[in-house]
């Protein structure tokens, strides 16, 4: 302890920067970031004549209750229209309906009536999962199994010929793939039904950052004293419950020693760990010495962390109608009631849900942004740019029924699964886990609150926020939470004019 503790933060993503922004107790603060840049899963890159968001894309629910919205507004990073009262009140429930066109795999545009009425069926079914929150006795363990059972019951009651019914099933199957992107999972069969609706949506029409999402971490970083963040500093091991002394200072003892890959070591009273759940899954056994208590290790094992990637394609000329914000893809012979293909090499591209157009992403130029989740997405990461580009050119030619469609001029993709310091995209509550595992993950160490050296290791990051996991606002709030935990310990109360 002491009156001015030393605090280390592992990572420099939004959770870490949020913690740094809020910490008033620290006498000495350092962030150790493995990568050559801050921002973590917020990553804006130049592409085409504009920008591409390789990580977080939208502010989900931009309204007063969203701290990312409040910060971004204060920093002047948003389009003025995003802050309008009217936009803040939109209740999209996380599923905004964008003007869209839906291509069938036979090269035809599907009837908007059929597509919209089928989407409505899916969205009603999704909403009906709300009743299972905190219910005992569930009709199925997973969201996917529940939805499929409901669809199997409904399908015989649909009007229309066999072709129309099959098409409806195919559209529903596309809805499942979109839902996999939203949850960041391979299959909705992996997502637990009971806790599914513990994830909370905020009001507001999802908006983007006209100058790039990275503007947010950049601003937070520049508000910190110079030298606070050390880049290219991957942490190898966190030693806790120790008695470490600095060379030449035998007086002061520290319980924590953080050892980096390059051999450097840092002593501290407290360390806030913000590394992604994907990294913890791979590395927690040797990352912490002594190892984590069993309850926390169990939470790390059983919570879900899957992959959602983006593929940006730049075209010489747009082939799409500029009014559409979403180009959707439906594989007409698929159905949620049939077994999905496991031949990744032959079929990976069928998991792509379609593309968001440049309209939705101002200043992008003639760019489409495709989304793809799951094992197919992980397989895509192993292919070369040229292979992905040629496969998607073939797919787009088939969908548009235009064999002459010019190939994209360039491609840029995210590869979040093979990124060593992320190992996936974001967390979800998997079958076999619940919100209590999220809380267990967030619990500081040592577990014994009466330990004379409390709060040695604290945990932040999107995966530690029980209702806003998988988002930037969840990450930011988790960082603030852990900073306040330390502020409270040292009685560092709010200043009269609070920081954001
Ligand atoms: C959002 C969105 N969005 C798309 C894609 C992705 C994510 N998210 P960080 O990883 O940022 O920081 C940790 C740091 O630690 C990092 O810098 C590492 O390098 C470092 N590190 C690791 N190991 C280290 C070591 N050993 N030593 C030192 N440093 C180390 N969120 O609000 N809107 O549109 C999207 C999207 C492709 C990948 C997103 C979105 C998620 C956010 O990006 C993410 O949560 C935060 O940035 C994480 O911040 P952090 O600080 O915790 O970690 C019902 C229901 C369903 C629930 N889901 C519904 C919501 C849907 C979420 N949607 C996301 C969608 C998109 C498109």
Q: In the prediction, which pLDDT does 364 show?
A: 58
What is the rounded distance in angstroms from the CA atom of residue 368 to the CA atom of residue 373?
17
Asked if pLDDT for residue 486 goes beyond 60, the answer is: yes
Residue 11 CA: which ligand 1 atom is closest? 15
The pLDDT > 90 percentage for the chain reads 86
Q: In the prediction, which pLDDT does 325 show?
A: 86
The pLDDT > 70 percentage for the chain reads 95
Q: Is the peptide bond before 446 cis (omega within 30 degrees of 0)?
A: yes
Structure tokens at 397: 């030619």
Asked if pLDDT for residue 260 goes beyond 60, the answer is: yes
Q: In the prediction, which pLDDT does 6 show?
A: 96
Residue 32 CA: which ligand 1 atom is closest? 28
Phi, psi of 335 (to 5 degrees): -155, 145
Please indicate whether residue 271, judged by its CB atom, sits closer than 6 Å to ligand 1.
Answer: no
Asked if pLDDT for residue 441 goes beyond 70, the answer is: yes
41 C-alpha vs ligand 1 centroid, how far in Å?
4
Pocket test for ligand 1, best of 16, 95, 258, 472 (most atoms within 8 A of CB): 472
What is the rounded distance in angstroms from the CA atom of residue 369 to the CA atom of residue 354?
8
Pocket test for ligand 1, best of 17, 18, 40, 352 (most atoms within 8 A of CB): 40
Please indicate whether residue 288, judged by its CB atom, sits closer than 6 Å to ligand 1.
Answer: no
Asked if pLDDT for residue 95 goes beyond 80, the answer is: no
Please indicate whether residue 304, judged by its CB atom, sits closer than 6 Å to ligand 1.
Answer: no
Asked if pLDDT for residue 2 goes beyond 90, the answer is: no
What is the rounded distance in angstroms from the CA atom of residue 354 to the CA atom of residue 95?
16
Mind listing the pLDDT tens digit for each residue in 297-307? 999 999 999 99
Q: In the prediction, which pLDDT does 84 show?
A: 83
SS3 state at 220: helix
Residue 37 CA: which ligand 1 atom is closest? 17
With cut-offs at 50, 70 and 90, classify the pLDDT of residue 251. confident
With cut-offs at 50, 70 and 90, classify the pLDDT of residue 96. low
222 C-alpha vs ligand 1 centroid, how far in Å?
21
Phi, psi of 142 (to 5 degrees): -120, 160
With cut-offs at 50, 70 and 90, classify the pLDDT of residue 351. very high
Q: In the prediction, which pLDDT does 4 show?
A: 86
42 C-alpha vs ligand 1 centroid, how far in Å?
7
Structure tokens at 369: 């942004």
Mean pLDDT of 310-333: 93
Mind listing the pLDDT tens digit for each residue in 46-92? 998 889 999 999 999 999 999 999 999 999 999 988 888 877 877 76
Give me the DSSP letters along 342-394: --HHHHGGGG--EEE-GGGSTT--SEEEEEEEHHHHHHHHHS-HHHHHHHHHH
Q: What are the strands of the beta sheet with 265-268, ordered from one edge? A: 265-268, 256-260, 235-239, 288-289
Mean pLDDT of 205-221: 95
Quick check: pTM over 0.90?
Answer: yes
Q: In the prediction, which pLDDT does 363 show?
A: 56
Ligand 1: residue whose CA is nearest its atom 11: 40
Q: In the prediction, which pLDDT does 91 show?
A: 73
Q: Do the beta carbons of residue 298 and residue 440 sit within 8 Å? A: yes
Mean pLDDT of 103-121: 96
Q: In the prediction, which pLDDT does 360 show?
A: 53
476 C-alpha vs ligand 1 centroid, how far in Å?
10
Closest CA to 358 of 51, 42, 44: 51
With cut-offs at 50, 70 and 90, classify the pLDDT of residue 324. confident
Percent of residues in the chain assigned helix, strand, coil, to nearest 5: 35, 20, 45
Look over the chain and give the mean of its residue pLDDT values, rounded to a whole number: 94
Q: In the prediction, which pLDDT does 165 show?
A: 97
Pocket test for ligand 1, best of 8, 12, 266, 275 (most atoms within 8 A of CB): 275
Please indicate whether residue 14, judged by its CB atom, sits closer than 6 Å to ligand 1.
Answer: yes
Mind listing the pLDDT tens digit for each residue in 405-438? 999 999 999 999 999 999 999 999 999 999 999 9
Please indicate whether residue 182, judged by its CB atom, sits closer than 6 Å to ligand 1.
Answer: yes
Cβ-Cβ contacts under 8 Å for 32 (sequence gap 6 or more): 8, 9, 10, 11, 230, 233, 234, 235, 258, 260, 266
Q: In the prediction, which pLDDT does 5 show?
A: 95
Q: In the prediction, which pLDDT does 1 show?
A: 41
Mind listing the pLDDT tens digit for each residue in 139-172? 999 999 999 999 999 999 999 999 999 999 999 9
Q: In the prediction, which pLDDT does 294 show?
A: 98
Q: In the prediction, which pLDDT does 361 show?
A: 55
What is the rounded distance in angstroms from the CA atom of residue 451 to the CA atom of residue 489?
13
What is the rounded distance in angstroms from the CA atom of residue 20 to the CA atom of residue 12?
9
Cβ-Cβ contacts under 8 Å for 75 (sequence gap 6 or more): 215, 216, 219
- Cα distances from 262 to residues 240, 267, 410, 419, in angstroms, run 19, 15, 36, 19
What is the rounded distance in angstroms from the CA atom of residue 12 to the CA atom of residue 275?
9
Residue 16 CA: which ligand 1 atom is closest? 51
417 C-alpha vs ligand 1 centroid, how far in Å?
12
């Amino acid at each position: 302890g002491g009156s001015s503790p030393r605090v280390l933060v592992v990572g420099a993503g939004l959770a870490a920067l949020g913690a740094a922004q809020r910490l008033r107790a620290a006498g000495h603060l350092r962030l150790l970031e493995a990568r050559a840049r801050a921002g973590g899963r917020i990553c804006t890159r130049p592409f085409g004549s504009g920008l591409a968001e390789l990580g977080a894309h939208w502010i989900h629910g931009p309204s007063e209750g969203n701290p990312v919205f409040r910060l971004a507004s204060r920093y002047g990073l948003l389009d003025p229209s995003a802050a309008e009262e009217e936009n803040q009140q939109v209740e999209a429930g996380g599923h905004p309906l964008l003007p869209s066109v839906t291509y069938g795999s036979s090269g035809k545009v599907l009837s908007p009536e059929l597509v919209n009425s089928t989407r409505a069926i899916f969205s009603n079914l999704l909403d009906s999962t709300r009743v299972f929150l905190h219910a005992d006795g569930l009709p199925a363990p997973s969201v996917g199994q529940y939805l499929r059972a409901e669809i199997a019951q409904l399908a015989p009651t649909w009007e229309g010929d066999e072709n129309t019914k099959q098409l409806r099933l195919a559209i529903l199957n596309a809805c499942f793939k979109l839902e996999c992107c939203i949850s960041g999972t391979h299959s909705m069969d992996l997502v637990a039904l009971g806790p599914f609706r513990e994830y909370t949506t905020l009001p507001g029409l999802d908006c983007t950052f006209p100058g790039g999402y990275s503007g947010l971490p950049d601003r937070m970083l520049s508000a910190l004293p110079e030298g606070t963040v050390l880049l290219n500093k991957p942490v190898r091991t966190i030693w806790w419950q120790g008695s470490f002394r600095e060379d030449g200072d035998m007086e002061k003892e520290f319980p924590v020693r953080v050892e980096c890959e390059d051999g450097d070591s840092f002593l501290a009273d407290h360390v806030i760990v913000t590394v992604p759940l994907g990294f913890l899954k791979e590395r927690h056994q040797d990352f912490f010495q002594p190892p984590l208590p069993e309850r926390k290790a169990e939470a790390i094992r059983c919570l879900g962390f899957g992959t959602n990637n983006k593929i940006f394609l730049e075209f010489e000329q747009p082939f799409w109608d500029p009014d559409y914000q979403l180009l959707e893809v439906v594989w007409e012979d698929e159905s949620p009631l049939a077994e999905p293909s496991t031949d990744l090499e032959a079929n990976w591209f069928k998991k792509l849900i379609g593309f968001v157009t440049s309209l939705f992403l101002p200043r992008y130029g003639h760019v489409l942004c495709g989304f793809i989740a799951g094992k197919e997405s992980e397989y895509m990461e192993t292919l070369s740019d040229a292979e992905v580009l040629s496969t998607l050119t073939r797919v787009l030619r088939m969908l548009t029924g235009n064999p002459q469609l010019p190939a994209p001029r360039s491609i840029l993709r995210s590869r979040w699964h093979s990124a060593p310091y992320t190992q996936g995209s974001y967390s979800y509550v998997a079958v076999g886990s619940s919100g209590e595992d999220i809380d267990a993950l967030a619990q500081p160490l040592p577990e014994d609150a009466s330990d004379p050296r409390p709060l040695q290791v604290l945990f932040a990051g999107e995966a530690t926020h029980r209702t806003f996991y998988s988002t930037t606002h969840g990450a930011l709030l988790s960082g603030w939470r852990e900073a306040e935990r330390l502020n409270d310990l040292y009685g560092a109360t709010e200043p009269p004019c609070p920081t954001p």
